[in-house]
Amino acid sequence: MSRDNDKTLKEAMAQMLKVYKLKNKFDETFAVESWEAVVGKAVANRTKEIFIREKKLFVRIESSVVKNELTIMRAQIISNLNAKAGAEVVQEIVFL
């Protein structure tokens, strides 16, 4: 028997994240966790630190060669991370 106010688990989770104002942080965390899937295991292994503040993704890379490659691919990386997160979480990448 179905009621009018029944929701799927996905809908309930989305509503909970919105009510408790956790949606942005959840999306940011998901984008950071998607780093390896977006850039690959080799680059992820050379990543020492990664975090998001005010829609800027800060990434510390130990290899200058990898850092240069990522700088060239910056727009594509931003697009892929936002697509994975399902929201505009990253507007800019800062390589440290």
Print pLDDT tens along the chain (96 aa). Answer: 566 778 888 888 888 888 888 888 888 999 999 999 999 999 999 999 999 999 999 999 999 999 999 999 999 999 999 999 888 999 999 999
pLDDT value of residue 77: 96
H or E segment to which residue 61 belongs: strand 56-61
Domain ranges of the chain: 21-95
Into which CATH architecture does domain 21-95 fall? 2-Layer Sandwich (3.30)
* Placement of tokens 């800019």 in the chain: 92
SS3 60: strand
Q: Is the dihedral of CA 20, 33, 50, 83 positive or negative?
A: negative
CB atoms under 10 Å from CB of 31, counted, come to 24
The two tokens of residue 30 are 């998901």
Q: What is the DSSP letter of 81?
A: H
**Residue 63 φ/ψ region, left for φ over 0, alpha for ψ in the -120 to 50 degree band, beta for the rest:** beta
* Placement of tokens 């130990």 in the chain: 62
pLDDT value of residue 2: 61
pLDDT value of residue 22: 87
What is the model's pTM? 0.81
pLDDT value of residue 23: 85
- Those residues with Cβ within 8 angstroms of residue 73's Cβ, 6 or more apart along the chain or in another chain: none
